[in-house]
């Protein structure tokens, strides 16, 4: 049987490879299980969000805006909280998960493929955004999250994210700003989705085959659900949610 063709940027070939063995079993920790599971959770939360299914488009003619469709404010903020975890300077969840996965996967092809996807993700993040090429995606995102005071209190006058936010909003049409912001995040999400799909398959296999510690995760989609009847497992300190 011919080996599957592995094409960078596509998952079909990489997912047809046999299951990958685990390297360095003795170095695996509870934290590694938790980080990989949390990346899977973050990707799922964004993928299933109203932000993700919202249309992002506008129509203009001779500089006149004729029609537009963008995610609602609340839907954007919901997704943005998770995007911030993926690449925020204090979190860097995607990099952490990729580094951990590559440390343990016994397959050079998978390591190279995942590293390439992450490099493409980083390339989008640190290059000019849709319709606003003078600002990187990271600069645009941080301007909204911090310069506009979406996550923290309003920054002091002259702070770089505040200045950048005011420059963006004062000097560019609102529809071009929103298009650049949302479409750039959509491009990032394409790479996150492909990376997570490949990692999830191996992680699930390793948990079962090698008896690794289960993720000690409280799944966000059920965090605010209350069940009537006997206490569920997620009510026990240190217990796992039933969704795992």
CA distance 121 to 131: 18
User: Tens of pLDDT along 146-191?
Assistant: 999 888 888 787 799 999 999 999 999 999 999 999 999 999 999 9
Residue 197 lies in a domain: yes
Alpha-carbon Rg of the chain, whole angstroms?
20
Sign of CA dihedral 189, 194, 195, 197: positive
| Total domains in the fold of the chain | 1
In a domain? residue 86: yes
50-96 tens-digit pLDDT: 999 999 999 988 888 899 999 999 999 999 999 999 999 889 999 99
Q: Is residue 130 part of a domain?
A: yes
pTM of the prediction? 0.88
Q: Which domain holds residue 203?
A: 30-214
Outline where DSSP puts E strands in the chain. 57-61, 64-69, 128-129, 132-136
H helices, E strands: number in the chain: 9, 4
């Amino acid at each position: 049987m011919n080996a599957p063709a592995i094409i960078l940027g596509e998952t079909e070939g990489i997912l047809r490879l046999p299951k990958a063995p685990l390297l360095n079993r003795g170095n695996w920790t509870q934290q590694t299980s938790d980080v990989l599971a949390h990346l899977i959770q973050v990707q799922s939360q964004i993928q299933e969000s109203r932000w993700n299914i919202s249309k992002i488009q506008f129509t203009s003619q001779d500089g006149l805006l004729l029609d537009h469709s963008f995610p609602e404010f609340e839907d954007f903020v919901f997704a943005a909280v998770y995007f911030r975890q993926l690449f925020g300077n204090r979190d860097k969840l995607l990099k952490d998960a990729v580094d951990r996965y590559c440390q343990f996967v016994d397959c050079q092809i998978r390591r190279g493929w995942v590293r390439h996807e992450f490099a493409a993700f980083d390339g989008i993040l640190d290059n000019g955004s849709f319709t606003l090429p003078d600002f990187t995606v990271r600069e645009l995102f941080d301007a909204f999250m911090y310069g506009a005071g979406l996550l923290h209190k309003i920054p002091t006058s002259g702070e770089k994210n505040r200045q950048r936010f005011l420059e963006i909003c004062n000097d560019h049409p609102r529809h071009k700003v929103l298009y650049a912001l949302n479409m750039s995040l959509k491009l990032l999400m394409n790479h996150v989705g492909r990376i997570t799909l490949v990692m999830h398959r191996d992680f699930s296999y390793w948990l079962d085959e090698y008896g690794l510690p289960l993720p000690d995760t409280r799944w966000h989609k059920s965090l605010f659900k209350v069940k009537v009847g006997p206490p569920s497992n997620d009510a026990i300190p240190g217990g796992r949610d039933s969704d795992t």
